[in-house]
């Protein structure tokens, strides 16, 4: 009976050793969950595909939503490895809540722009035009980064908007415009660029008073800190910067 037992033990040891020697940086079947601001959907989907190519066996999954919603989900225990916010305020909430490992890194910046249905039928030309009687305006809710930026512009200009809708993410605002449900909306430059000819964009100088800086961080609950850090490094490195700049993001 001893010989077979020794043989089984030896075989198991060889199998474990072989697996250890052949394992890549991230083992087969690993999954990286990234919580990211809705305005990052296009760029992060691209970067996620690049990460998977560089890390065979790893699947990158995303949860795109308003940054405030993402923080609420994380606070309630939603599993995630990386968090990328559209502003520093929501990242600060995550840090103060003990969710973040290490220091967040700023990787991009974004500003607001007015979007209208194609051709700008309401002839919106300035931020003040959004307050004209009869103009149906859609903006982000105050707790969402794009909403907080809108509030800053309102205070800086003295122009008070009366929106017909306050959305939970910038992509929802864009959707209201592309579907013809409103005359104008406030979104990020990157969202307007991504929408192409589905909207007409109207830049306004006061947007410079409310620039949003995007930070990213590894989360304390990350299942693989090393994989999460590699994703952060991709986003903040030269390849990530190229993708972000091409989408219209500015450097922080």
Q: Which residues are annotated as a binding site for molybdate?
A: 39, 67, 170, 188
**Residues of each annotated binding site:** 39, 67, 170, 188
Measure the CA–CA gap between 201 and 245, rounded to whole angstroms. 18
């Amino acid at each position: 009976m001893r010989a077979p037992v020794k043989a089984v033990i030896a075989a198991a040891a060889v199998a474990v050793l072989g697996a250890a020697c052949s394992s890549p940086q991230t083992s087969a079947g690993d999954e990286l969950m990234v919580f990211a601001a809705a305005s990052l959907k296009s760029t992060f989907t691209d970067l996620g595909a690049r990460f998977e190519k560089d890390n065979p066996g790893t699947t990158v999954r995303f949860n795109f939503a308003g940054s405030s919603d993402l923080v609420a989900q994380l606070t309630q225990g939603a599993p995630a490895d990386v968090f990328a916010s559209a502003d520093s305020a929501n990242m600060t909430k995550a840090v103060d809540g003990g969710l973040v490992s290490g220091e967040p890194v700023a990787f991009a910046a974004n500003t607001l722009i007015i979007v209208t249905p194609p051709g700008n039928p309401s002839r919106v030309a300035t931020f003040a035009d959004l307050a004209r009687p009869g103009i149906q305006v859609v903006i982000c809710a105050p707790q969402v980064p794009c909403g907080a930026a809108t509030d800053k512009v309102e205070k800086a200009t003295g122009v008070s908007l009366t929106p017909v809708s306050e959305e939970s993410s910038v992509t929802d605002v864009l959707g209201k415009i592309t579907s013809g449900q409103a005359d104008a909306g406030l979104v990020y430059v990157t969202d307007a660029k991504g929408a192409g000819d589905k909207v007409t964009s109207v830049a306004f100088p006061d947007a410079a008073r409310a620039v949003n800086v995007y930070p990213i961080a590894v989360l304390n609950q990350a299942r693989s800190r090393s994989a999460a850090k590699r994703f952060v490094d991709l986003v903040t490195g030269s390849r990530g910067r190229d993708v972000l700049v091409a989408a219209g993001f500015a450097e922080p």
